[in-house]
Amino acid sequence: MTSTGEAHVTRARTADLIDMQAQACAELKAPLYATLLARAAQDVRDGGPCADAVAPLEGAPGPAAVALRLLGAVHALVLLGETPELAAHYPTSGGSADHPEAAWGPFRRAVAEHPEHIAAWMRRPPQTNEVGRANMLISGLVTAVAGLALPEPPPVRLLELGASAGLNLRADRFRTASGRPGGPEFSWGDPGSPVVLDGAWRDGAPPPRIAGAAARVPALDVVERLGCDVDPLDPLDPAGALALRAYVWPDHPSRTARLAGALALARQVPARVRARGAADFLVDAALRPGTLTVVWHSVMRQYVPAEEWSRAEGELRRLRTAATGPETGWFAHLAFEPRRIGGTHRFVLTLRVGEGPEEVLAEAHPWGLDARAAEVASLAP
């Protein structure tokens, strides 16, 4: 039996995790969520409705994302029209986030008045299929294709680990753009795409290698789009689309717009996502003659158990070794993942073609935009 003292320590730890996410939201310019989580953390300490909501996950480690589960649960209520008082503070429902403190009362009441809904959403892991990260993935892909130095770009097979709803399996149909007055400008992709990744590059254009590759490879011939996820979502299903929308922070209308465009594109461009872990998925992966097979992933490595990732790396080695030229097909591994540098995390794009060395190409905001050339010397693994 857990003593009252032990329960208090566990509850305090959970509140601390929520506070940490509040600070992260503030740093990522999401004042509405920063404010709501700071107040929710105190409500947990005080034994209020938020304490009841998070109780099943008390003591869970950081990756359980207690705060993000709670935010997603309440945002879903807003999007479903169940909490009009709170909706007035959520831009995703036509409200305004200009007075975040005023949102706390309606938020707390929403948690208290919808316990079954909140409990169901607290049991599910957050699913954020961040469309902005496609900027990094496509940058690496055109670099890989250009590096093959073929007369014509080869057909491409995309295999994504941790693909969520598979939105970024359509990344070649997105448009990336950046520029600044009087400075360089850059764009790649379909001008009519419903997904436009504005502000892709901090200096207006990517570093010369990526810019040159994008100029040489203005379009891609993607012949297969296949991913895996331990709990995939179907973007064509209303419940799946709701979950994706609920986990996007309402402070960020540009992310909401990108997601809406990606959901529209998903109805036009088929892709498959299997319910499998990364290692089991890669066991079935094979090369195809005359084709570039690409395994890519973005900000998912931290959620994969060490033993499983070790097996996945073994399968990646197998694919690298098998890629000996056009007769077997080519292979590239692309990753946009965090690395700890000193006391901070930096999000970097890496590329490895065949059995060549891993290259660090760029670094970016966690959501893939505002990218720049990586300071390679400081990015030791």
> In the structure encoding, which two tokens stand for residue 181, read together?
């007055």
User: Does residue 184 sit in helix, strand or coil?
Assistant: coil
CB distance 72 to 134 below 8 Å: no
Q: How many residues does the chain have?
A: 381
CB distance 69 to 128 below 8 Å: no
Nearest to 296 by CA among 126, 63, 135: 135
* Torsion of the alpha carbons at 108, 113, 115 and 116, rounded to the nearest 10: -140
Cα distance between the two ends of the chain: 43
**What does residue 238 show for φ and ψ, rounded to 5 degrees?**
-55, -35
Residue 62 has a pLDDT of 59
Query: What are the residue ranges of helices labelled H in the chain?
Result: 4-27, 31-46, 49-54, 66-79, 84-87, 100-113, 115-122, 134-147, 208-216, 238-246, 253-266, 278-283, 306-322
Residue 10 has a pLDDT of 87
Residue 313 CB neighbours (<10 A): 14
Residue 181 has a pLDDT of 72
User: Does residue 165 sit in helix, strand or coil?
Assistant: coil
pTM summary value:
0.90
Give Cα separations from 118 to 69, 100, 159, 255, 374 (angstroms).
9, 21, 34, 24, 41
Residues of the chain with pLDDT under 70: 1-9, 59-64, 341-343, 376-381
Exposed, middle or buried, 62 (CB in 10 Å: 0-12/13-18/19+)? exposed
Residue 380 has a pLDDT of 46
In DSSP terms, 177 is beta-bridged to 187
Q: Say how far residue 12 (Cα) sits from the centre of its chain.
A: 29
DSSP β-ladder status, 156-161 and 372-373: unpaired
Residues 170-190: b if buried by 16+ CB within 10 A, e if exposed = bbbbbbbbbbeeeeeebbbbe
Q: Which residues contact 178 (CB under 8 A, 6 or more apart)?
A: 185, 186, 187, 198, 199, 200, 201, 202, 204, 205
